[in-house]
Structure formats: C-alpha cells, structure tokens
Amino acid sequence: MMESDWDKKRKALITRLRRVEGQLRGIQRMMEEDQDCERVAQQLSAARKALDKTFYETMACAMRQELSQAQSSDSQSSAKLESQIKHITDLISKYA
C-alpha cells in the first residue's frame, strides 16, 4: 500500500514532536543543574521554533482539508467557500 503525502508528513511531524519532547527534558535538566541562563534560553528558543513549525504545517493541512472539501462539493456556493476560508483564517489568528 502506498503511503499518502499526509501520512509521510504526519510521521515527520510526530518525529519532530518527539525531538522537542527530548529537548524539553534536556532543558529541565539544564535548569535543575543551574546551567547558564543564555544556554537555557537558546534551547527554549529552538524548541519553540520547532513547535511553531509543526503548528504551521498542521494548519496548512487544515487548509488543504477545508479546500479539498470545498472542491468536492459541486453545488457549493461562493458564500460557503468564503465561510470556510474565514474559518481557516480565524484558526490561524486564534492559535498563532
């Protein structure tokens, strides 16, 4: 069975989240050991960026799903499509 693009992307995102989980454990250890605050901040920044990238890739998936549903409905009005686009942009605004 062929793996879909989303399946590949999902596996990559899960791998990234596991890596971030390890980073966070390392950051906790650094703080427990009272390591240099700048080094801790660097690691926090790296973890945050990895989470941000995962978030935006997941939101891109949501947009693709919404637009795919819009295209599959032949009788869909432009008002419905506008509603779906607004929903996507609201999600991005809410969680960004």
The one-letter amino acid at 31: M
Distance of CA 43 to the CA centre of its chain: 19
* Residue bearing tokens 């950051």: 27
pTM as predicted = 0.71
Which is nearest to 27 in space by CA: 12, 51, 52, 45? 45
Which range, of 28-32, 35-39, 78-82, averages the lowest pLDDT? 78-82
Q: Is the CB of residue 24 less than 8 Å from the CB of residue 45?
A: no
Number of domains in the chain: 1
Range of the structural domain that residue 32 is part of: 5-95
Q: How many CB atoms lie within 10 A of CB 33?
A: 8
Using CB atoms within 10 Å of the CB of residue 67, give its burial: 0 to 12 exposed, 13 to 18 middle, 19+ buried. middle
Query: Residue 81 belongs to a domain with what CATH number?
Result: 1.20.58.1000
What does the pLDDT look like over 67-83, one tens digit per residue? 777 666 655 577 777 77
